[in-house]
Amino acid sequence: MKKQLYIIKIGGNCIDNPNELDTFLENFAALSVPKILIHGGGKIATQISQKLGIISKLVEGRRITSKEELEVVTMVYAGLINKKIVSNLQSKNCNALGLSGADANSILSKKRPVKTIDYGFVGDIEKINTEIIDVLLQKNITPVFSAITHDKNGTLLNTNADTIASSLAVALSQDYETTLIYCFEKKGVLRDTEDENSIISTLKFQEYQELKEQEIIYQGMIPKLDNCFDALQKGVQKVIISNIDFIKNTDSEHTEILS
Amino acid sequence: MKKQLYIIKIGGNCIDNPNELDTFLENFAALSVPKILIHGGGKIATQISQKLGIISKLVEGRRITSKEELEVVTMVYAGLINKKIVSNLQSKNCNALGLSGADANSILSKKRPVKTIDYGFVGDIEKINTEIIDVLLQKNITPVFSAITHDKNGTLLNTNADTIASSLAVALSQDYETTLIYCFEKKGVLRDTEDENSIISTLKFQEYQELKEQEIIYQGMIPKLDNCFDALQKGVQKVIISNIDFIKNTDSEHTEILS
């Protein structure tokens, strides 16, 4: 039987709130199964960019990662946030080790090709090298990934943390029974964004298509859910969308994604 | 027979010069022995602190690491510089993995006690956990350390990179035949700081004491050399002070420290 593995992504809202982050890390550290954490960036990178006088570029409403902004996200994601999380987890006796995709060539990506929009230094994942991750997990070490990858030609690339989480879950499903959990500010996928209690407890692909057509599911939830269904299709055992309560108590309300 | 291990520290001047850093990394990547890199910070942290409006505190000429500055050095050392070096080494087929002392609890330190000066968030090394380093080296992975450690209570600490290098060399001497190399801007220890060619090719402890008394060796060289002699006394096989040329060509001029 394959060993269990939890792959948990926490979003920016959690990172922006020190108390919430600490509670999450407390519960994460207490999980007895092997686990991997992937963290997003939060508002700190934007605040530091502004202070440094770097002007964020938006093209057609999409954020562009300029060379200057790549330096800021590398500092903030792979440095400040990653090391704060790692040292916090260490204080909670979770033997964390922080990684970017460049480290041990763990996540190889390719600079997004320019079609209509040049996204700048944004990477699309090409390959996960599971060997080092497996070595760490076997040593009871918990990998903590920031959303920075590289192209193996010396260029770091800003990469979507949700996609890193699903790609890791898929790649590690070969050897582990993987549960992929996206923790964000809501209890799950909502049927009515105005009503925090309208949680869809299970979401099947067919229903997802219908809810998209009805524009009940829209905007940022679409790429997140696409990642979820993609992960399930590619061998991930279980996919959950929840708030941080689920990590402590799996009976708390959440959305389970079903194929 | 013990396996060979090179532990190489590069200083800030090298990091501030992209071409010199690239040349160094090229030669470092080409070394066929197992190796560890430790890097200092360079001027980038100071520049970013200034841009962010953080005023550096000096007490009796010694720099104090405030909470704000700790955040900057964490970002810059463990994030920006570390990941740039790692991705550069990866492009040169050296399987680098960046670490701070918090990662896998590799370097445990203690906030420097306040005597006459409160240095702020500065750490003095208490323990090196060689297990993870050994696991990485066995997998042909090259650890790249930034000068950030932690206290295992959730606090990151700014730590002298020279001391990290000597502490790693000492700890790993149990299992490896270690060569500790400090690369800096000069070819070695100079008999006359005005004359770049007055390199002392071998320096014994007795001679070091005499040169200190004569004030031929002074200021920043003293803690560096103290680290060197300390390392030799505690089992490090060989200690070298050189510029980056030595990494490519061990026949180039350098200073070898002898007990």
Mean pLDDT lowest for which of A24-38, A49-63, B120-134, B200-214?
Answer: A49-63
Cβ contacts of A82 on chain B, cutoff 8 Å: 78-79
Q: Is the pLDDT of residue A62 over 80?
A: no
Reported as a single tens digit per residue, the pLDDT across B38-82 is: 998 878 999 999 999 998 787 777 779 999 999 999 999 999 999
Query: What was the pLDDT predicted at B17?
Result: 92
Identify whether the C-beta of residue A89 lies closer than 8 Å to the C-beta of residue A96.
yes
The token pair that represents A220 in the structure block: 């940022």
Q: Find, among A12, A4, A6, the residue nearest to A147 by Cα.
A: A12
Q: Taking CB atoms and an 8 Å cutoff, what residues of chain A touch B156?
A: 83-84, 87
**Which CATH number do you get for residue A246?**
3.40.1160.10
How many domains is chain B partitioned into structurally? 1
Give mean pLDDT, residues A226-232.
Answer: 95
List, as own/partner pairs, every contact residues B212-219 make where C-beta atoms lie below 8 angstroms and the sequence separation is at least 24, other chains included.
B216/B191, B216/B192, B217/B189
At B215, the amino acid letter reads E
Contacts of A98 in chain B (CB under 8 A): 100, 102-103
Please report, for residues B4, B6, B73, B169, B204, the alpha-carbon distance to residue B235 in angstroms, rounded to integers and kept in the order given.
13, 14, 31, 9, 16
Q: Which amino acid is at A205?
A: F
End-to-end CA distance of chain A: 22
CB contact under 8 A, B86 and A95: no
> Which residue among B52, B75, B99 places its CB closest to the CB of A79?
B75
**pLDDT at A61 > cutoff 80:** no
Whether the per-residue pLDDT at A58 is higher than 80: the answer is no
Q: What is the pLDDT of residue B107?
A: 98
- B42 known ligand binder: yes
DSSP A112: P
Please determine, for residue B104, whether its predicted confidence score (pLDDT) is greater than 90.
yes
pLDDT for the residue B123: 97
Whether A156 sits inside 8 A of B87 (CB atoms) is: yes
Residue B64 has phi, psi (to 5 degrees) of: -105, 135
Q: Which helix (H) or strand (E) holds B133?
A: helix B130-138
A5 burial (CB, 10 Å; 0-12 / 13-18 / 19+) is buried
Does B191 appear as a known binding residue? no
- Smallest CA-to-CA distance from B78 within A123, A1, A76 is with A76
Q: Which residues of chain B are at the A interface, by a Cβ-Cβ cutoff of 8 Å?
A: 48, 51-53, 71, 74-80, 82-84, 86-88, 90-91, 95-100, 102-105, 131-132, 135, 139, 141, 148, 150, 152-156
Q: Are B52 and A52 inside 8 Å of each other by CB?
A: yes
End-to-end CA distance of chain B: 22
Rounded-to-integer distance, Cα B105 and Cα B129, Å: 7
Report yes or no: A147 and A121 within 8 Å, Cβ to Cβ: no
- Min CA distance, B234 vs chain A (Å)? 28
SS3 assignment, position B65: strand
Is residue B244 within 8 A of residue B192, CB to CB? The reply is no
**A14-43 mean pLDDT:** 94
The H or E element containing residue A206 is helix A205-213
ipTM over 0.85: yes
pLDDT of residue B56: 78
pLDDT score of A112? 96
User: Is pLDDT at A234 greater than 80 in this prediction?
Assistant: yes
Residue matched to tokens 């080494």 = B89
Ramachandran bin of B42, using left for φ above 0, alpha for ψ from -120 to 50, beta for the remaining angles? left
Query: Shortest CB distance from B71 goes to which of A74, A80, A99?
Result: A80
Determine the angle formed by the axes of helices A18-30 and A82-91, rounding to 10 degrees.
50
B63 marked among binding-site residues: yes
**Mutation choice for B interface testing from A103, A126, A157 by most B CBs within 10 A:** A103
Are residues B104 and A141, on separate chains, in Cβ contact within 8 Å? Answer: yes
CB burial of A194-211 (b: ≥16 within 10 Å; e: otherwise) equals eeeeebbeebeeeebeeb
Q: In this structure, are residues B122 and B111 in contact, taking their beta carbons and an 8 Å threshold?
A: yes
Shortest alpha-carbon distance between residue B211 and chain A (Å): 41
> Which tens digits make up the pLDDT trace of B174-226?
999 999 999 998 999 999 888 989 999 999 999 999 999 999 998 888 999 99
* Owning domain of residue B41: 3-258
A42 is in an annotated binding site: yes
Q: Report the amino acid identity of residue B10.
A: I
